[in-house]
Structure 1
Amino acid sequence: MKRLLTTPGFVTVVGALTLAVLAVAGYLIVVAPAKTTIGYCAQLPDAIGLYPGNQVTSLGIPVGTVTAIRPEGTGVRVEFAIDADHPLHGQPTATTVSDTLVADRSLAVFGEPGAPLWDRGRCLTKTFTPKSISQTLDSFAKVAAQLNGGDTPAQQHRIRDGVNAFRAATAGTGPQLNTLITDLATALRQPDAAIGNIGRLIDAFAAIASSISANWDDIARVVLRANDGIGFINELWGRVVQIADSLLVLLPWLNRLANTYGRPLLGALDGAVPGLRLLAANVGSLQQIITMIPPIANAFAQTTDPATGWPRLTYAPPRVTLPQLQPDQICAVLDTITPGQCRTAGDGLSVAELAPLILGTVGAR
Structure 2
Amino acid sequence: MRRLMVIALAAVAVFGVGAWSLSTDDYRVSVLLPSATNVVEGSPVLMNGFEAGEVASIRVQDGKARVELAIDADHSPLHDGAKVEVEWRALLSERHITVTDGPAGNAAIPDGGMLKGDMPAPMELDQVLAALDPETRTRLASLVRRLDGTVTGHEQDLRSTLKTSGPAVAALGDVLRGLGTDGPAIKQMVGRVNAMVQTLTARDGDLRTIVSSLSTLSAETAGQRQRLSDTLAALPGTLDTANRTLGNVPGVADKVVPLLDGLRPATERLPGVAGNLAPVLRDLRPLVGELRPTLAAADVLLDNTPGLLDSAHPAVTGLNSAVGALLPAVQFLRPYTPELAAHFSTWGSAMANYDQNSHYARLHISVSPETVNLNPGVMLPPDFTYRPYPFPGEAGRQPWTDAFGSGVR
TM-score (norm 2): 0.26
Larger helix share, 1 or 2: 2
**What's the TM-score once normalised by structure 1's chain length?**
0.28
